[in-house]
Each structure stands twice: as C-alpha cells, then as structure tokens.
Structure 1
Amino acid sequence: MSGGERLIYLPLGGAGEVGMNAYVYGYGKPGKERLILVDLGVTFPDMDSTPGVDLIMPDMSWLIDRADQLEAILITHGHEDHIGGLGHFWNQLRVPVYCRKFTGHLAHRKMEERGADPEQICIVDAFPETIEAGPFGLSFLPVSHSIPESSALIIDTPVGRIVHTGDFKLDGAPVVGEAFDPELWHDIAGDGVKVLTCDSTNIVVPHPGRSESTLGPNIRKLVAESSGMVVATTFASNVARVKTLAEAGRDAGRSVCLMGRAMLRMVSVAVETGVLTDFPPVISHEEAEDIPRENLMLIVTGSQGERRAASAQLSRGKYLGMKLAEGDTFLFSSKTIPGNERSVLGIVNAYSEMGVNVIDDTSSSYHVSGHANRPDLEAVHDLMRPQMLVPMHGEHRMLRRHMEVAEEKGISSIVATNGTMLDLTGDTPRVAEHVETGRVYLDGTQLIGALDGVVRGRIRMALNGHVLLTVILDEEDEPLGDPWAESMGLAETGRSKASLVELIESEAGQFMARADDKVLLDDDKLDAGLRRVARQVCVEEIGKKPEVTVVISRLA
C-alpha cells in the first residue's frame, strides 16, 4: 500500500439480493478516498411486505454524507434495477453520470422526471474510450444481456485493474446488440486482472446458457400454427425478443401491434439510437381493431403480472379496444421473477377461463436468460484470470456458491453483502468495516426510511383493522355525551351478534363514567385506557386486536 492509500469496494444495494444495484469503489487514504458509484437501481414492492409503496431504493445516506468525495456515477445498462434510482438521488450527489448512448436516452428521461439536470448525462463510447475520474481510469466494455448496449466496466486503479461485469451472458448471436467477444476480453485481461466483480445470478444453473438467436425457430413455428389472435408478452427492455416476436408475426402474415407505454418507448429509443434496425412495420391499436383476429398479433407489456400493464388489463376484459376470446393464444416469452408468481398465475387463470391457450416458459422453448450460467461464469474466470473474485448481483446463496466456485479454482474470494466494505489493496480481499445501510421507500411523492414506521404501521392496519374512538370533555373536564367509534377492516358484528361499534361505545362510556380525576385530567392515561377497552371488546367479540386511534377533545 503506497502512502497509506487503500482500494475499497462497498455495495449499498444488489449484494445479497437481486435488484437495487449500487456499488461504490474508492481509492485514497482511509476515510478520504475518492469515490465512484456504479449503478443506482430500484426494486419493486409487493402487497405482503410493502403495501402501497411505489418503489424501493438503497439507502444512500453513507454516500450522500460523502458526496464531496464522489467523482462520478457510471450506469452499466438501462434496466430499472440499475438505473431506476438515478433521478431520485442525483440532486443529493451532483456529479457527472456516464453511460453509453441507449442507456443515456433512458437516463435523460429519468433525470427530467425528477427535476434533476439531464445535461449531466455524459454519453461515452465503448472501450477503448477512457474516462478519467479522480484516481480511476474507466472504460465501458460491451457485453451481451437482455437489453441493448449493456456493458462491463474496466476500472483502472493505482494498484491494479478491476473488471466489474455488470449483468451479462455469453452470447455470440444476441439478435440485437453486441455479441460477447472473448478475444477482446482476453486482451483486456492482459497479464491478469486484480479483481473481477462478477454477476452471480445464475451460478446455481449447471448447464451452459443459450443464445437469444435460438428462440426464433420455436417462436415462428408457434405463431404460424396458432389460430385466432396471438398475444405475446416479454420484458419491454428486451428489444431483441420483441424483434423476434414481431418478425414471427410478420412471417405468419399477421399485422403486428405493440401495446403498453414501456414497450413503445423502448422500441422507439432503440430505433432512435441505432441499436435496433429492420424492425417489422407495426400498426396502431386503433388500426388493430379493424384487423381480423386470425391476422393479428399483439406484443404487450406485463410479463410479471403488473396490475396496470397490458397483459393484466386484457385478462380483466378490454385494453385499448382489444379483447381476447376463446381460441386465441397468449405467450409468456419470459421467466417469472421470484415473488411475482401469484400475480402471473392470476392472469393465467383468467385467460384460461376465457378459453385462451396460455403458453409459458415451462418448456424453455420461448425464453432464455440474460445472465451467465455456472459453466459460462467459469469460462470468464478462466479468461480473466483474476487475483480476486468478488461475487455481486445475487441473493446470499448465490454469492456464497460463486465464492466456492472461485475458490475451487484457486481464486481468492469473499462474500460481501450490502454494507460490507472490502479492502482490495493487498493480495486477498478482507473486510475493512461495516457501514449502516438498508432500504428507502418511495411512497407517493415522499422518500421514507425503512425504520420510519410508515410501512410497518400500514401492515399492522392491514392485518388487524382499525378503530377510531372519539371522546369530548367539557370545561369542567367531565365527559360530554357518549364516546363514539368508527371501524375499518373489521367485522360489523361478533359473537354476541350485537354491533361491534356500539359495544365499543358502550364499554368506552362505562370506562369514562368510572374514571377518576387522575385519568380524566391526563390525556396519556385516558388514551391508554380507552385503547385497552376497545381492543378488549374486539378480542372478545371477533378475536382481533385492532390498531386504535383515540381522539380526545377538551372544550376548555
């Protein structure tokens, strides 16, 4: 270590989970390192654990407190779990954002939506173009993935080269975008790489990954042999798949219509930036209404069961004038992300009730992953010959298995989950310290902390129901009239068959009548007593202990 400087790596999101990626690298004297941030993503809520929340983002407090040490933000590709938090946090970080052209168009929109300065988006070409950011030399290295212009990052530091893979797969024929180039990667490795920070998503998949181009024949055959209308859904960002689906529709003599804002936006950006060429002609949804259904193919959003997306709305009836009918075919050209199974299954069953033929990815004929499987990851290990491997982008079981695979090949490795800072200066990675990190929720228009209690309170109300109990005391601090109650999310009657609200009001009135001056003059004691009464009635009548809000009004 020269002059006491150190090279550090700190995941704030994406390590120990799939999604919400945010990785910090730094070099310099401890506590005074110059920093870069790789990716700034989001993950998505669910009704069980985060009801009502719009987005979940990494807690960036550690980096915001050190914003004066930050040199740059680099975005590897345009998926939401890598770019979705950019607009939300840029105003607190305020440094240039570097990315390639396709990603830059998406980033520009993210910044505008959140009132951040879109002129801070700096478009750069792929390697060999180099960006200088403090002590770092940075280049974007093209990789194959399920969105155009994905990139690994070459991070040259005073103590050696880091290759941060981003999300990637080994695909020599990705349909759209750049093929994986092993010769280029071999040249990048040179005499070896100090650190390979590597995607771990598919480390547990034992067989080699398949190319995106292998899907074309299967999809063309399915569309050609289907009767009625054909509807297909996939990730909107996977424009290679969208192109394959559209070509299958065209080849079958069908008019093709894209439906869903995300689908239209992604294709538009891909065409505008030149990464998508020769896309089949499409028609508008108004034109689609006049096409015989056996001559029509829709490509729609909502592969993960999103309630407001086109797939879900079609399953509930009509969407933009279109409606599925018995004999139609619906294709999920996608894999269901863990956690979304219930939503997707609801759509599948709704289509089944309509008599629609639903085809999913059970046969693996209509979808391939955008992430490298274990044999592919091992091939990259051999190609790069890293001194150290740091697993990232994956749940803990994935990170741990990736570490084991690396160590089996004699590569020094360690698992670092969110908040674990590694010192990468020496010959082996070591834990330098742990920093406090977590999650931040976008709830409506506000960012709230995971420990703020907002979501926890919402869950309690959802589980237990709510009672509002109001009492009024006169100028002499005596009860004025009877208490009154309102309930939400609770049964109207219980074991006694009497009105639950009236029972609460009766018991609360008796409590007020019995209460002495110590209670009646003390809002805290009165509040506690009335809460206890309301809950006791609910437990006895309906077996629930609701959340209770007591409103005490004093005329004095």
Structure 2
Amino acid sequence: MTSKRLIYLPLGGAGEIGMNAYLYGYGAPDKERFILVDLGVTFPDMDGSPGVDLILPDITWLKERADRLDAIFVTHAHEDHVGAVSHFYSDLGAPVYARVFTANIARRKMSERGHPEDAVQTVSAWPEQVTAGPFKVGFLPISHSIPESAALVIDTPDGRVIHSGDFKLDPTPVVGEAFDPDLWAEVCKGSVRALVCDSTNVFSPDPGRSELGLGPAIEELVLGAKGMVVATTFASNVARVKTLAEAGQRAGRSIVLLGRAMERMVEAARETGVLHGFPNTISDEAARDVPRENLMLLVTGSQGERRAASAQLARGKYRGIEMKEGDMFLFSSKTIPGNERGVIRVMNQFSEMGVDVVDDSNGKYHVSGHANRPDIEQLHDIVRPQMVIPMHGEHRHLREHAKLAIARGYQGAVVVNGMMMDLSGNAPSVAEYIETGRTYLDGSVKIGAMDGVVRDRIRMALNGHITVTVILDEKDEPLGEPWCDTSGLAETGRSNALLVEVLEEDLSQYLGRAGNKTLRDDDKLEEALRRTARQTAQAEIGKKPEVTVVISRMR
C-alpha cells in the first residue's frame, strides 16, 4: 500500500512579492486532496506587460485536478491574496472561506463577475475550524496593515501546520486585533510540524513599529500646514486612513475620501463592524464650498497609479478639486519596488504646481505591515516548529529567511513556485517540480504568459509596425503597386523622402523581379515582402519594425 504524504506547493508568491497562491495536499501520491490558501493577483507594468490589466497565477496544474480541491481559504483582503478568487471561481468551483471583513470584500468581487456571493462563507476566529477533506483549518488572528488578517492553523493527519499569512507583531494596530502572544503560544503548544512564514522584511534589522505611534507626527505635520492637505496611503490600510482622518479632524479640517477603492474599504470596514469612531466625512461636492485651509483629502494612488485620485490631481483636477501653490501632499506609504517611476512622476507634477510634497523618507509617516527580522525570530520562538518554510518574498528573501531559521536550530528550505515539498518526514524534501507561470488578464480575456500576445505587443512598441498590402490578379501578376501603412515610425529617413514612399518603391521593385513560383506561393511571397520591408526600414531609419503582409488574390 502506498503511504500517504503531506505536501506544500506554492503556485504564486514564493520567489516574488504578490500573486499569492499556496496549495496544501494530503493523501497517496497523485491522489491527494487539496486546500488552497489565498488566490491573489499582481499588477502589470509598461515595460514587461504593456496593456495588461492584471497578472494572475498560472493554475493549469490545479485546474486539471479541481475535483480534488476541497476549499479555498483567504487569509486577508489584500489584492495579492484575494484578487484572483473571482477570476478563477468558474475553473475551481470550491467553496471560499474567510473572516467577515475579508468575506465582505470577496463577495463584492464575486458579484462584480456574476458569481454567487454565497460561494464565500464567513468563518469566525479561532477556535472555530472548518473541515475540508483531510484538513481542519482555523483562522488565528494576527496584526497586519488591513483589518482581520489571520494566520491559518492547518491540522493534518501528519500534524499541525501554521501558515502565517502576512503579519506584523503590533500590540496597538489602531484597527483590527492586536497580536496576542499568549493565544499563539497556546495554539502552538505541543508539536507544530511546519511554520510557513512571511519573509518580506527579513532584511530589516530593527523591530517593527506600531501603527499607533504614527498619530502624533502626522498630527503635527497637518497642524503646521497652511493650505489644503492631501494624503495618500494604501486604501486597504484602514487603520492608516483612520489615523490620517483623526489628525485632520484634530487640526480642525473637514475630511473628504476620494477614490473608489478607499471609499469601498471604509464602507466594508464599517459594514462588518471592524471600524469604529471614524471621523465624519463630507462629499467632494461639499468640499468645494470649504476654504482650502480647512480641508484634508484622503486619496487613492500611493503607488502612482495613473487612474487613481492622486495622479489625476497631479494632472489637473479630480471631481472638480485641484491642487494649488502652498498646498501639501503627503505620501503616508512605502513605494513598492517597481513603482518608483510612477510615484516620482506624480511628485514632480505636484512640485511644478508649487505643492509641498512630503514622503516617508524619514520614517515618520509610515510603518510597514510586515514583520522585521527580530519579529520573525520572535514568531519562530513562539511557534517552535519542526521546520520553517519561508514564503511571500523574492528569492533573496526566502534564502535569507531559510538561513536564519537553520541558524536558530530549525529545519529550513528555500521553496519557490512550482516546487512540491513533502513535509511528512523529519525535514522538507522535494517531491516533484510543477510547471508554473503567469496568466494575464488582458481586457476580459485570460491569456498565458507564453502565448505570444504580450511579446508581440512589446515588439511592436519597441520597433513600430508596417502593414504591406498587395493585390494579385487571376494570372498571379501584381495588380497595381503595393501600398504601406506605418505605426510608431518616423515619417522620413536618411534619404529625406517619406518612409512610406521608399518602402512602396522597394516593394514594387521586388515584385517586378519576383519569379512566378514565388508569386504563386503566399507563404514565400509574404516572407519575401516582410524581409524587404524590414531591410528598407533598417536602411532608412535604423530600425527593423514588425511587418504584417496582406495578400489579396482576384479569382
């Protein structure tokens, strides 16, 4: 009889920050029952994925085994953990479990895509547990930068696994539960087989700071401002939004929320009872009648997103409100690596208006939602697992975290997307490798990262495009001259003639000397015309564009 095994397989989030999707399985090899922890997205950039709306994990392997997936558990409501649930619900069909705030956000996403909201089921915090196949799973509260974050207590026939989710050890988080070391010690009393643990801030050497400590510095800043104050942070950081709003209120300012994501998060936090005592707000219409020095706007767009409220204010107006010289704009946030250019662009646009821009370079106006190195060590010591599996980090984070765990006497391993790990023994071991990657949401269609769509888009963006049209008569002779259309290319080149005219002349000359065999063969003719157009463009403008050839035959 084949022995059963406990496996861990990251499909996203291990070797990168974002797009989290972690699979656990138990059973005989190739017959395991599964649970999925989180199913998130990451965001595109113009360099690597132009025009793409969202990037989702490639779950092809799991879709082929969807009949063995018993449940999806979502640790918290950040987009990189919950954002793909509604996109893949039709493919997976498993029930989704989350705490009340996260469930509220997940149901909104399900409804937007036409899925049943009751597919998302609300679960109370520990000690309640959900039975899913061979697993029993409970939500263990832990602090983070969004309300009601939870680690997962995963009980398996091979022992208990703690999946940390994103976390920090914050005793005073402003909104949501404080970290409770006594509760964690009680849950981890005895034997924990594995701690699968957040690695994001493993390189930060100082203990993390509490959200509560930001209030005085922000209040002092707002009190000293002369014009209108605008502040941005992550919309999901409801505690920070509250801290900012309270600072504005104490400074005698009316508070305005701008941006759909921020409005939605505050609304969800109120609906679910996790947000209390939030200052009264006024509408953007009412704000136009309030003196600038008495206004504080809380806006979306802390990462420089072009469609967010902050970027639109930087370009001119948003909902009839505009920034002016003497106003102040505060980034109460950390710029995620890769977003620097967008943020700097917004900063410079505000600076050109005479707006004073304040960021968090001095560490006074933002604290991270992730545990720093000493806090990670503290969690290790509370849980005392047999093995530590780093997750939620780039490869360098995972490797450093594994080294840290091993140095402190725990078994550890660097596990990246696609590595199926067997956790049944005394140390983690590789069971097999699974092909993983990315799925692009391009408009309303999901496409594979290797399908060539985005690759072709990048090539056109880099090189420009030429369309060549040729008509041949019934005798396979050219009917008139070929003609060209260009996109993204200079109008004239080295000869000072119009590029289109030079292209058409060279293509016409080629057709005049082409043999009958080539003229009768669409594939050969297309390739020859493409080569000729690229050679001409290279000679004229120093680029080899992408070329589309259209051959029409009169029959």
Q: TM-score, normalised by structure 2?
A: 0.99
CA distance in 1, matches of 2:151, 2:111: 26
CA distance in 2, matches of 1:111, 1:293: 40
AA aligned opposite 1:487: T
Residue 160 in structure 1 maps to residue 163 in structure 2: no
Match in the other structure for 2:411 = 412
Match in the other structure for 1:327 = 326
Shift of 1:3: 5.8
Q: Write out per-residue CA displacement over residues 151-188 of structure 1, whole angstroms, 9 at most, x where no aligned residue.
A: 00000000110000000000000000000000001001
CA distance in 2, matches of 1:382, 1:116: 42
Q: Write out per-residue CA displacement over residues 219-254 of structure 1, whole angstroms, 9 at most, x where no aligned residue.
A: 000001111000000000000000000000110000
Matches for 1:194-343 after TM superposition, within 5 Å? 194-343=193-342
CA distance in 1, matches of 2:223, 2:2: 68
Match in the other structure for 2:37 = 38
AA aligned opposite 1:105: N
Matches for 1:107-126 after TM superposition, within 5 Å? 107-126=106-125
Shift of 1:113: 1.5
Match in the other structure for 1:545 = 544
CA distance in 2, matches of 1:383, 1:190: 9
Task: Give the secondary-structure state (helix, strand or coil) at the position aligned to 1:493.
Answer: coil
CA distance in 2, matches of 1:155, 1:270: 27
Residue 81 in structure 1 maps to residue 77 in structure 2: no
Tell me if the contact between 2:159 and 2:191 (Cα under 8 Å) persists in the aligned partners.
Answer: no
Match in the other structure for 1:523 = 522
Query: Aligned pair count?
Result: 555
CA distance in 1, matches of 2:145, 2:24: 26
Match in the other structure for 1:506 = 505
Shift of 1:193: 1.0
Shift of 1:435: 0.5
- Runs of 5+ unmatched residues, structure 1: none
AA aligned opposite 1:62: W
Q: Write out per-residue CA displacement over residues 254-289 of structure 1, whole angstroms, 9 at most, x where no aligned residue.
A: 011000011111001101100000100000000000
Task: Give the secondary-structure state (helix, strand or coil) at the position aligned to 1:469.
Answer: strand
Matches for 1:448-463 after TM superposition, within 5 Å? 448-463=447-462
Matches for 1:390-409 after TM superposition, within 5 Å? 390-409=389-408
Task: Give the secondary-structure state (helix, strand or coil) at the position aligned to 1:350.
Answer: helix
Q: Write out per-residue CA displacement over residues 90-133 of structure 1, whole angstroms, 9 at most, x where no aligned residue.
A: 11111110000000010001111222221111101000001111
More moved, 186-195 vs 457-466:
186-195
Matches for 1:460-479 after TM superposition, within 5 Å? 460-479=459-478
Match in the other structure for 1:29 = 28
CA distance in 1, matches of 2:130, 2:520: 69
Question: What is the aligned-residue identity percentage?
Answer: 65
CA distance in 2, matches of 1:470, 1:394: 50
Shift of 1:192: 2.9
AA aligned opposite 1:267: V
Task: Give the secondary-structure state (helix, strand or coil) at the position aligned to 2:369.
Answer: coil
CA distance in 2, matches of 1:110, 1:295: 36
AA aligned opposite 1:517: N
Residue 193 in structure 1 maps to residue 159 in structure 2: no
AA aligned opposite 1:121: V
CA distance in 2, matches of 1:380, 1:502: 70
Tell me if the contact between 2:135 and 2:155 (Cα under 8 Å) persists in the aligned partners.
Answer: yes
CA distance in 1, matches of 2:271, 2:472: 69
CA distance in 2, matches of 1:59, 1:168: 25
Task: Give the secondary-structure state (helix, strand or coil) at the position aligned to 2:10.
Answer: strand
Task: Give the secondary-structure state (helix, strand or coil) at the position aligned to 2:361.
Answer: helix
CA distance in 2, matches of 1:462, 1:222: 44
Task: Give the secondary-structure state (helix, strand or coil) at the position aligned to 2:399.
Answer: helix
CA distance in 1, matches of 2:15, 2:23: 15
Tell me if the contact between 2:128 and 2:138 (Cα under 8 Å) persists in the aligned partners.
Answer: yes
Moved over 3 A (4+): none
CA distance in 2, matches of 1:409, 1:206: 16
Q: Write out per-residue CA displacement over residues 497-532 of structure 1, whole angstroms, 9 at most, x where no aligned residue.
A: 001000000000010010111110000110011111
Task: Give the secondary-structure state (helix, strand or coil) at the position aligned to 2:6.
Answer: strand
CA distance in 2, matches of 1:284, 1:115: 30
1:363–1:521 CA distance, 2 compared to 1 (3 A): same
AA aligned opposite 2:479: L
